[in-house]
Amino acid sequence: MTMSRRLILKLTGSALLVGAAGHAFAKPKPQRVLILGGTGFIGPHFVDALTAGGHKISLFNRGKREHEEKPGVEQLLGDRDNDLKSLEGRNWDVVIDNSGYTPKQVELSTGLLKGHAKYYIFISSIAAYGDFKNPPIDEDHALAAIGDMPTDKLTGDNYGALKVLCEGVVEKTYGKHANIIRPTYICGPGDHTDRFTYWPFRVSQGGEMIAPGAPDDPIQFIDVRDLADFVRVCTERHVTGRYNLTVPPRFCTIGKLLDESRRVTGADTKFAWASRDFLLVQKAIDADGWASKEIPIWSPPGGDNPGIALVSSKRAEDKGLKFRSVETTIRDTLAWQKTRPAEKQQLRAGLTPEREAELLSKLRES
């Protein structure tokens, strides 16, 4: 049974609202919030979390994606590279930048908004770290080197380095009023990358499936709604600093994800555990230690970067980050997956049925 807001207040004896992941939200002062982006995967979840708190939202983007019309949300059109006219002469309490990929984009927005917005939240990435040695990896870990990478456009190799440069622009311009959030793999309803979705979806199909490594290998991710709830906490309290956004180290393992998926779906799936060496030989994973398109989320433990799945979230937890259960993320992701059109039912990540059959055959022979 869902409790009404009035009943919650009566039971707690204070003006606290508790979200799905256990977040306690004090009755906030309404904020004027500008979201740079807001119509992709994470943006709509930010809008939902913030409008639930009574905040007024402005979305700035090119208007190329449909967005749900909601009371208290306005649409401002422009282009981060060369057209910020719709932002000129306007004032906000908080800016949430979830679409800054190059330092030029962030220089333009921070330069224009400094003096017109009190507080700036920049959504970065754990890819900003230079390596994942000596875990757990906290927010003071060494950042990626820039080198001679191009800084004017995003390529496959410079994503992390560009995030480092963007962070630097925000912190230089906003100083003690800046907030840097570094998420790991973001998952949950609406995740078009399918990296997390692949695992529970594949388990739901039943039969024998390839499972990477060993059951107790740690994996990390963050439910997009937990990210959005933390952004709301930061917005309402004007939290500053740098924060990793991920479930805690060993909160989940690949074995737990698969077992929970099997329990949730009731499938008869059997797991064929394939070692790192086997997957390397079959070119299903890369030697660099990162997760691959065919084997997403999971990274082989050890090697040169033993902390890839051991990133610390303690600093954010101390400021109010909470986590939904793995079961909840699985259930809600699968429910969303079923609503996708037929052409989206073939996932963008994970093993195809043909490739998995090939690997299973070779695994039996090995």
Let me know: does 310 contact 218? Beta carbons within 8 Å.
Answer: yes
- Listed by start position, the domains of the chain span 16-365
E-state strands within 254-304: 270-274
User: In 3-state terms, what secondary structure has residue 131?
Assistant: coil
User: In 3-state terms, what secondary structure has residue 196?
Assistant: coil
The contacts found for 43-48 with CB under 8 angstroms, 24 or more apart, are 43/98, 44/68, 44/190, 45/188, 45/190, 45/224, 45/225, 45/227, 45/228, 46/96, 46/98, 46/228, 46/231, 46/232, 47/73, 48/228
Predicted pLDDT of residue 2: 36
E-state strands within 139-224: 178-183, 186-187, 208-212, 218-219, 222-223
Let me know: does 63 contact 75? Beta carbons within 8 Å.
Answer: yes
Q: How many CA atoms lie within 13 A of 185 on its CB side?
A: 23
The 10 Å Cβ neighbour count of residue 341 is 6
Predicted pLDDT of residue 26: 63
Structure tokens at 135: 């875990």
Identity of the amino acid at 109: S
Let me know: does 233 contact 17? Beta carbons within 8 Å.
Answer: no
Let me know: does 137 contact 312? Beta carbons within 8 Å.
Answer: yes
Strand partners, 209: 271
Find the radius of gyration of the CA atoms of the chain.
21
Predicted pLDDT of residue 106: 98
Let me know: does 19 contact 226? Beta carbons within 8 Å.
Answer: no
> Per CATH, is 16-365 categorized as 3.90.1150.10?
no
Identity of the amino acid at 195: R
What CA–CA distance (Å, rounded) separates 107 from 154? 16
pLDDT digit string (tens) for the chain, length 366 residues: 333 333 222 323 333 344 556 555 667 789 999 999 988 999 999 999 999 999 999 999 998 766 567 777 999 999 999 999 999 999 999 999 999 999 999 999 999 999 999 999 999 999 999 999 999 999 999 999 988 888 888 887 899 999 999 999 999 999 999 999 999 999 999 999 999 999 999 999 999 999 999 999 999 999 999 999 999 999 999 999 999 999 999 999 999 999 999 999 999 999 999 999 999 999 999 888 788 999 999 999 887 889 999 999 999 999 999 999 999 999 999 999 999 998 888 899 999 999 999 999 999 998
